[in-house]
Amino acid sequence: MAELDGVFYKEIVEQGLREFPNEACGVIAAGPDGLPVHVFTATNIDMSSVTFRIDAEEQLRIEREIEERGWETWGYYHSHTHSEGYPSQTDRDRSRYVVAFYPDVRFLILSLEDRDAPVLRSFFLRDGEVTEEELTIT
């Protein structure tokens, strides 16, 4: 089970609504105790409502800051603006590389299918298998 502070949840939802109808994306960092401590909003260079890719140079800056602060990457998130919050085939295909580098990272998907009722879910994508974990917003 994973826990995410409501402040971070709000930040992700606000970004998702701001960038709607395009997909929004970013990185959540955790402190030494494994709990989320910071949300890095990132630029979707695809500027698309159906795909995303974090701007490469921005990603390097984020990863470096995480390392310098002694944090860890807790998860990568993105929004689905017109579908449920479940990994698409594109998510599964494109995440293979991230998973090869970071086998334990989680992927969070924010569904904005109903913008009045956003839904955030968390998954692990290993060997092409989707495993959902319970996510509690605290």
Partner 1 sequence: MSVQVKLPTILRKHAGGEPKVSAEGSTLRDVLDDLETRYPGITKNVRSDDGGLHRFINVYLNDEDVRYLGSLETEVGEGDTVSILPAVAGG
Q: Which of 59, 81, 111, 122 binds partner 1 (CB under 8 A)?
A: 59
Q: Which two tokens stand for residue 131?
A: 């495993």
Residue 56's Cβ-side half-sphere holds a number of Cα atoms within 13 Å equal to 0
Q: Is 18 helix (H, G, I), strand (E, B) or coil?
A: helix
DSSP type of residue 117: S
Let me know: does 12 contact 77? Beta carbons within 8 Å: yes
Q: Is residue 129 near partner 1 by the rule CB under 8 A?
A: no
Give yes or no for residue 87 binding partner 1 (CB under 8 A).
Answer: yes
Which of residues 96 and 138 has its CB atom nearest to partner 1 in the complex? Answer: 96
Among 2, 4, 24, 25, interactor with partner 1 by CB under 8 A? 25
- 100 scored as a contact of partner 1 (CB under 8 A): yes
Sole window of 10-18, 21-29, 114-122, 126-134 interacting with partner 1 (rule: CB under 8 A): 21-29
Q: Is 38 in the site for partner 1 (CB under 8 A)?
A: no
Q: Does 102 bind partner 1 (CB under 8 A)?
A: yes
DSSP 82-95: SS-SS--HHHHHHH
Q: Examine residue 21 and say whether the peptide bond preceding it is cis (omega within 30 degrees of 0).
A: yes
Of the candidate spans 4-12, 22-30, 31-39, 127-135, the one that interacts with partner 1 by CB under 8 A turns out to be: 22-30
